[in-house]
Structure 1
Amino acid sequence: MKRLCAMVLTFALAWSVPARALELHGIRPDEIAVWAAPVEGDSVLEAYRAEQAVNPASTMKLLTGWSALTRLTPDYRWRTELVSNAPLAHGVLQGDLYWIGAGDPRFANRDLQGMLRTLRARGIERIAGRLLLDKRAFSRIGSASDFGGDAARVFMVDPDTHLTGLKVAWLRFFNDGNGARVTLDPPLAGVRLNAVLSDGGEGLCDDVRRLVSIQVEPERISVSGALPRSCDGAQSYVNVLDHDQYAAQAFAALWRELGGSGPLGSGRGTAPADARVLASHDSEPLPVALADINKYSNNTMARALYLTLGRVAGGCGDTVADAERAVRQTLADAGIAAAPLVLENGAGLSRRERVSARLLGEVLQNAARGPYAGEFLASLPLAAADGTLKKRFAQLGPRLRLKTGTLDGVRSLAGYWQAADGRRLAIVAIVNSPRAAELMPALDRVVADLVTRFDPAAGVRREYNSPITPSLPVEPR
């Protein structure tokens, strides 16, 4: 009987919510908002400024991803098509070819190449007409305002109906005894590559971008410097051209590689109603894209997913407005109060977007209790293991899954702790402050404290040491 009583007492203590003041570790009271609650149950572990409107940075992606899983379901796939109503005779497509884009966030050059192989398998050797991009899927793409100084950065690539390879080209470096050199993949005809590289000898090659100078203009790339031999095979990506130019030039380059000729220029156009499908590509299911979005905080893909919500939901015909309406309706259907939500692009790449810690926390609870909990949780970075959390929370480990958020003046974390006995804690902690970057270790300690309050068996030392912040430049994520 005594043993049974002890077991009952231990169980009760484990499920209770200790009353303890929130330690801010040097964060000022007006710089942070926190909300934490068990997934199983109605209690709240911590609610500190939980209704305050704050900029969530990339933790906003959790709201977009949850809405997409809820409304589109995990089986959703994007379909991209090449269609034409032109006749095919003697290997020649005697008219225009239309590329119907669906806004697939993971559409890659290899997927485009697969579609072109299908054209060749049909016997098409030459396209006598133009390549026309049918961009009806998105009426507009919305904004990511006040990032003008970062316009050329890869994280600022806008979503698009014809997003291909995230609209980046790869610089591939070689130094194999035949001299130091670099090539562009795919070989875009509209981009000039000027390279002046010398042999850098036997030095280390941890990051080729630190060893050579790469200057990118819309239609010109200049590369110079001494390339160590250990950099043979290294690569780096660059943001070039606009979406239409990139898509058309990638098409032309890959078509030539397959022995095809044409098309006679490119432009935009609406596919005729009687056009037949010549080739198509179905994306992998939604959770695959969601994992890329959340683990690596990809802004372009998150914005494309947000717009897809608007396209599928329909409404007024304005893709951006329809996307916001879809997100707000998903919140309403779940019984989650939307105030003080402000949406711009659903990715958190925004100076304007706002949530409350409570709103985001209740979304986490709903997601973990819903039918697609497995897909949602699997998309989040694992502490000390992968994604943007790979170098953080080493003492907690992969029982902690958190989406990170980083902007000038913002550091945020939102996700889950899972105890060994299966209990789960939803956690949201958001710092909005001009000194947010220097407060990141303190933010990590706040989260670690919440975990140990909920689960004393987590075994985290009270003096939590956050790993050294990586020295690479911080980009919004």
Structure 2
Amino acid sequence: MQINLFKYLPLFVMVLTTATNSVYSQPSSLAAAAKKFSADPQLKHATWAMVVADASTGKIVFDHNGQVGLMPASTLKVLTSVSAFEMLGKTYRYKTIFGYSGTIANKLLDGDLIIRGSGDPSLGSWRYEQTKPARILDIIIAALNRNGIKKIKGNIITDTTGWNHEAVPDGWIWQDIANYYGAGAQKINWHENQFDIFLRSGNHVGAAVEIVSTSPALKGIHLSSMLRAGAKGSGDNAYVYFIPGTSSAVIRGTIPPGENRFSISGAHPLPPLQLREELHTALDLASIKVEESMVEHNKDLKELYIHQSPPLDSLIYWFMRKSINLYGEAFVKTIGWKSKGEASTSAGVEIIKSYCEKKGISADAINIVDGSGLSPQNRITAMALVQSLQYARKANWYSSFYESLPVYNGMKLKSGSINGARAYAGYHKAANGKEYTISIMVNNYSGSSATVVKKMFQLLDQLK
């Protein structure tokens, strides 16, 4: 499928001719509040940007550093969502094929059971009834029973060909990539590539912490704990680190003392293996034996069951509401695959930047290396985010996009937070009925994140 970006150009031009750098009338208190914000000691060594547009006309009513590229953190998901809606479509569904090779005779499949993915980030997710692991496994077993299969001579094969095997984008840091929010996107994802770890800590500060169990039970992964008990009430300060080039991980940091079943979540580096093993267990329970013999046969895939994901607008809802980084990385790779036949982050990013160029946004305003905003290498301007948000208002999928935005400070805003960066982007309707499109980012602030966020909200309050 080739994406014709030029067909969107007339609408892009119409939207962006109203979104210029000229600053029009603004709420009277906003300039004074911005001046006070700039002078705050927490921002002495910081760079911040804010752009506000009249949502109805696109005219810019406030612009501070709007053309300066800053770390957007998860507000980058705004751009990724807009791109996915435009290039994939709100009704797009991923398809995962469960099938077989070989022949069936006398209740024996003389061949392999094959799973062919398409990058679906929701396969095995607990967020939707139709994607829950038990439901999918039950459907596969029912399909085997309908075909009279009680024994599989070959193996369970996960087909990941044609997909970039570098699950984690360049620029992600080691502290992130083994924890649940750092799960990379693969051709076959399972349970959002996440697992839970249950921990037991000693009763005093410095006591050892042991691993009690994981859910689901892990296959092919070895975990060890270097955790210690921290101060009472210290919360979750535990991080999983996978040892490069291995399937072993160590957990470091602290959790509170006296915990019997404290849970943290990690990112599974081998989701196809996890799915294969869970399916193998389910087949055993259903008395369907997998012999795991080498079989010689035609490798053509015969379909048993095609699983379809929820539609894209449903996926984007959770992507934005819960800021699921995995979904964003899957969308970027899918855009690359559909447009160029290359399911890689770099291909998807290239297409998104080209798309934005057609919108009238300079590619230099969008220096991105992923689709989720997790990389500290990302840079984007506040103006570019506002322009993207303004375009969304004119699109036929706008209601779905708007619904996906969380509420912060009484406003429909996507938040963003990584070390040293806080950001918000979205919409607000003031008490007088005026509607605004907003982007605000602060990088390299000092002191408490909660305090700087409170001050950002006080600035945004001028639009109420």
Scaled by the length of structure 2, the TM-score of the pair is: 0.75
Following superposition, the deviation at residue 188 of structure 1 comes to 3.9
1:163 maps onto 2:192 in alignment: no
1:46 maps onto 2:73 in alignment: no
Aligned partner of 2:86 among 70, 82, 86: 70
Following superposition, the deviation at residue 69 of structure 1 comes to 0.7
Aligned partner of 2:118 among 74, 81, 102: 102
**Does the 8 Å contact 1:81/1:281 carry over to 2?**
yes
1:23 maps onto 2:35 in alignment: yes
**Does the 8 Å contact 2:175/2:241 carry over to 1?**
no
**Does the 8 Å contact 2:169/2:345 carry over to 1?**
no
Call closer, same or farther: CA 1:146–1:66 in 2, change over 3 Å.
Answer: closer
**Does the 8 Å contact 2:421/2:444 carry over to 1?**
yes
Following superposition, the deviation at residue 98 of structure 1 comes to 1.8
Partner SS, residue 54 of structure 1: coil
Amino acid at match of 1:407: I
Following superposition, the deviation at residue 161 of structure 1 comes to 0.8
Q: How many residues align?
A: 400
For structure 1, which runs of at least 5 residues remain unmatched after alignment? 1-14, 175-180, 196-204, 384-392, 456-477
Tell me how far apart the structure 2 counterparts of residues 355 and 173 of structure 1 sit (CA, whole Å).
39
Partner SS, residue 292 of structure 1: helix
Amino acid at match of 1:186: P
Following superposition, the deviation at residue 168 of structure 1 comes to 2.4
Aligned 1:377-456 pairs, distance under 5 A: 377-383=402-408, 393=409, 397=410, 400-419=411-430, 423-433=434-444, 435=446, 438=448, 440-452=450-462, 454-455=463-464
Tell me how far apart the structure 2 counterparts of residues 321 and 213 of structure 1 sit (CA, whole Å).
28
Tell me how far apart the structure 2 counterparts of residues 237 and 29 of structure 1 sit (CA, whole Å).
34
Partner SS, residue 351 of structure 2: helix
**Does the 8 Å contact 1:413/1:428 carry over to 2?**
yes
Amino acid at match of 1:253: T
1:338 maps onto 2:369 in alignment: no
Following superposition, the deviation at residue 439 of structure 1 comes to 5.0
Tell me how far apart the structure 2 counterparts of residues 167 and 207 of structure 1 sit (CA, whole Å).
27
**Does the 8 Å contact 2:51/2:382 carry over to 1?**
yes
Following superposition, the deviation at residue 283 of structure 1 comes to 0.5
Amino acid at match of 1:309: I
Partner SS, residue 27 of structure 2: coil
Aligned 1:123-134 pairs, distance under 5 A: 123-134=148-159
The residue aligned with 2:104 is 88
Partner SS, residue 49 of structure 2: strand
Of all paired residues, the percent bearing the same amino acid is 21
Partner SS, residue 365 of structure 2: coil
CA RMSD in angstroms, aligned pairs only? 3.6
Tell me how far apart the structure 2 counterparts of residues 429 and 59 of structure 1 sit (CA, whole Å).
10
Q: Deviations over 1:392-420 (max 9, x none)?
A: x3xxx3xx111111111211111111235
Amino acid at match of 2:305: A
**Does the 8 Å contact 2:182/2:267 carry over to 1?**
no
Following superposition, the deviation at residue 39 of structure 1 comes to 1.2
Following superposition, the deviation at residue 173 of structure 1 comes to 9.3
Tell me how far apart the structure 2 counterparts of residues 372 and 264 of structure 1 sit (CA, whole Å).
47
Amino acid at match of 2:26: V
Q: Deviations over 1:59-95 (max 9, x none)?
A: 1111111100111111011100112231112222111
Call closer, same or farther: CA 1:331–1:98 in 2, change over 3 Å.
Answer: same
**Does the 8 Å contact 1:219/1:240 carry over to 2?**
no
Scaled by the length of structure 1, the TM-score of the pair is: 0.73
**Does the 8 Å contact 1:118/1:278 carry over to 2?**
no
**Does the 8 Å contact 1:103/1:137 carry over to 2?**
no
The residue aligned with 2:216 is 186
Call closer, same or farther: CA 1:209–1:87 in 2, change over 3 Å.
Answer: farther
Call closer, same or farther: CA 1:31–1:281 in 2, change over 3 Å.
Answer: same
**Does the 8 Å contact 2:68/2:381 carry over to 1?**
yes
Tell me how far apart the structure 1 counterparts of residues 234 and 263 of structure 2 sit (CA, whole Å).
9
The residue aligned with 1:5 is none
Amino acid at match of 1:113: L
Following superposition, the deviation at residue 311 of structure 1 comes to 1.2
1:288 maps onto 2:332 in alignment: no
Tell me how far apart the structure 2 counterparts of residues 193 and 407 of structure 1 sit (CA, whole Å).
26
Tell me how far apart the structure 2 counterparts of residues 221 and 89 of structure 1 sit (CA, whole Å).
47
Tell me how far apart the structure 2 counterparts of residues 227 and 237 of structure 1 sit (CA, whole Å).
16
Call closer, same or farther: CA 1:104–1:172 in 2, change over 3 Å.
Answer: same
Aligned partner of 1:36 among 49, 52, 76: 52
The residue aligned with 1:309 is 335
